[in-house]
Amino acid sequence: MKIKTREDLDALKRQGLESLYPDNPKITVGMATCGIATGARKVFDALSEEVEKKKLDVVVARTGCIGFCQKEPLVDILSPGRERIYYKEMSPEKAVQLLDQSMGAKPKEDWALFRMEGEENLITNEAISYVENHARAGDNAIPLYKEFPFFKKQVKVALRNCGFIDSERIEEYIAKGGYYTLLKVLTEMEPEEVIEEVKRSGLRGRGGGGFPTGVKWASCRHAKGEPKYVICNADEGDPGAYMDRSILEGDPHSIIEGMIIGAFAIGSHEGFIYVRNEYPLAIEKLKIALTQAEEYCLLGEDILGTGFRFNITINRGGGAFVCGESTALMASLEGKVGEPRAKYIHTVERGLWDRPSNLNNVETWANVPAIAARGADWFSSIGTENSKGAKVFSLVGNINNTGLVEIPMGISLREIINDIGGGIPGDKMFKAVQTGGPSGGCIPEQLIDLPVDFDQLTEAGSMMGSGGMIVMDENTCMVDVAKYFVDFLQEESCGKCVPCREGIKRMHEILEDISTGKGREGDIELLEEIGFILKEGALCALGSTAANPVLSTIKYFRQEYDAHIRGKRCPAGVCSELITYSIDPEQCTGCGRCVKACPAEAIVGEKKQPHSLDPEKCIKCGSCFEVCKFDAVIRQ
């Protein structure tokens, strides 16, 4: 089918609405990578089998990630006229029992996570209600989505459809308002108007740099040279970050629609999506979406019958982190070694094959249709003065609610960690949060009220980056954290320029010394000196920001470095060369738990008699320390 008119879109929208909200009960499994990793596929198969076997009048559907990855696999039930209920940590056996509920039985409150009375359509700004009568109270023990702490403060713009649609069904995307915006843009707007709208919205690049998107588009539009290229950077590689993957898997059409709008505004007819090959599901979903878009005339020679032409090619990255850097990405697209080049002449002037090229990342592109649909004023009403809109963060590390959250810019770290994230597990103290990936830095507990936006994070010595947020508790050693990131960068530096290749290696060497008790006076100053060389001398942003994890931990946790260097001890008890374990005979009850836990057979003792630990055999894994209930294991 070819979509040429609004009526054609309407017809698909009707199909989509039927599929989203069918007349019979629908049970949906969250099947993004996070869900599948915890067993969602088995859950889906079990449900399908059961429905088939019992000939139940139930639709078994799949969707992407709604963000609450901590409690995956998630399954939700939507029965006509009733509230939608989400269930957590589903196994195939449990999920099958849920089918009773879809057939009218009472919801299983113990398994439920939250409930929804309806959903909002961000694009059309309409709300739909699942329940016929809003006043109908019931299921009160199950918290409401809107009041559920994890979701309450979120504003889902880029993630608007993730977890709500089946990304393989283009009609569901259209039913959520998708591609109507494209039709409006292509038929009612001039390219300059689109650019102006994006400029006014204040949208800044979500991939790390935070460059104003509209300004970039304008430069590319006005740059000399043809053809012009539009590129989507889907080479997400920061440790602990998976915002883009979720959108690629859960809502690929939002990226495609954003890219077509961008191409129209810039005057480009050829686009590329550079996606890392480690994202097989994302690539699969993206391929399906592109094929559908081509079939429906949303890509190709005559988009929506307007005569505008644009095509998108997927290019798979080979696993180099540095290829997320725009010039290295373009070199890789050209088939060359993925090494960055100097950007004294910007890529919007001379990028891919020396032609004007506009590159934005996945999340930025996914924001574009929303801005074009709702307008710049709406978008800029969210966020802070210089950071507009909402930003997706992947909240990971020592946090109760691991997941993806999209929050309005300007919300404080405290709200993110305590309210949305549910605080630190095991009553431990919050120590620091690492933002911005390997280019970012660690923000300490005393800055927990920092409002999160581009400028505030940079001022604190970190950066927004692409949105990784790694929460660390009191048992984290900051020297070890710095060493981890520097090790990552040492592996991932392309090795072209001297500061990055040699400097990061030397930083790692020094940190390794410090963490193994070989640190010397002057090491901190030497690290700072290498930091200067990297910042001023490195060729690309990977190198020039590479010292941030080190410099920010020195800035906020200098005493911890000093303890390692001068005191030869690791206050957090992480650096194994600097700690020893022993057993306090006064406290030890001889329960034997540590004996069982020790993988090195270093602990011996008679039952109910104080045990002893052989430091020669001890591998300092800390297992005994973790299992002892009587505080008898001493770590020094």
Nearer to another protein, 430 or 485 (CB): 485
Strand duo 270-276 + 308-317: pairing: parallel
Nearer to another protein, 259 or 500 (CB): 500
* Residue 522 beta carbon to another protein: minimum distance, rounded to whole angstroms: 8
* Residue 330 beta carbon to another protein: minimum distance, rounded to whole angstroms: 16
Distance CA 518, CA 58 (A): 65
Nearer to another protein, 200 or 343 (CB): 343
Nearer to another protein, 41 or 496 (CB): 496
Q: Positive or negative, the Cα torsion across 369, 375, 378, 383? A: positive
What count of residues does the chain have? 636
b/e 7-21 (16+ beta carbons within 10 angstroms → b): ebbeebbebbbebbe
* Residue 494 beta carbon to another protein: minimum distance, rounded to whole angstroms: 5
Distance CA 347, CA 113 (A): 47
Nearer to another protein, 123 or 494 (CB): 494
* Residue 568 beta carbon to another protein: minimum distance, rounded to whole angstroms: 20
Q: What is the DSSP string of 156-225?
A: -STTTTTTTS-TT-HHHHHHTTTTHHHHHHHHH--HHHHHHHHHHHT-B-TTTT--BHHHHHHHHHHSS-
Nearer to another protein, 349 or 419 (CB): 349
CA atoms within 13 A on the CB side of 333: 30
Instruction: Please state the φ and ψ torsions of residue 502, each to the nearest 5 degrees.
Output: -85, -40
Nearer to another protein, 445 or 523 (CB): 523
* Residue 378 beta carbon to another protein: minimum distance, rounded to whole angstroms: 33
Q: Which amino acid is at 4?
A: K
Distance CA 342, CA 245 (A): 28
* Residue 332 beta carbon to another protein: minimum distance, rounded to whole angstroms: 12
Nearer to another protein, 42 or 350 (CB): 350
* Residue 149 beta carbon to another protein: minimum distance, rounded to whole angstroms: 42
Residue 34 corresponds to which tokens in the numbers above? Answer: 């996070």
* Residue 232 beta carbon to another protein: minimum distance, rounded to whole angstroms: 24
- Are the CB atoms for 171 and 13 separated by under 8 Å? yes
- Are the CB atoms for 85 and 139 separated by under 8 Å? yes
Nearer to another protein, 358 or 493 (CB): 493
Contacts of 532-536 with CB under 8 Å at 24 or more apart are 533/499, 533/503, 534/499, 534/500, 534/503, 534/504
- Are the CB atoms for 363 and 243 separated by under 8 Å? yes
Q: What interhelical angle do 362-374 and 191-201 show, nearest 10?
A: 100
Q: Which spans of this chain sit near another protein (rule: CB under 8 A)?
A: 320, 322, 337, 341-342, 344-345, 490-499, 501-506, 509, 522, 526, 529-530, 532-533, 536-539
> Which residues on adjacent β-strands are paired with residue 204?
212
* Residue 518 beta carbon to another protein: minimum distance, rounded to whole angstroms: 11
Nearer to another protein, 459 or 491 (CB): 491
* Residue 499 beta carbon to another protein: minimum distance, rounded to whole angstroms: 6
- Cα dihedral 261, 262, 266, 272, rounded to 10, equals -120
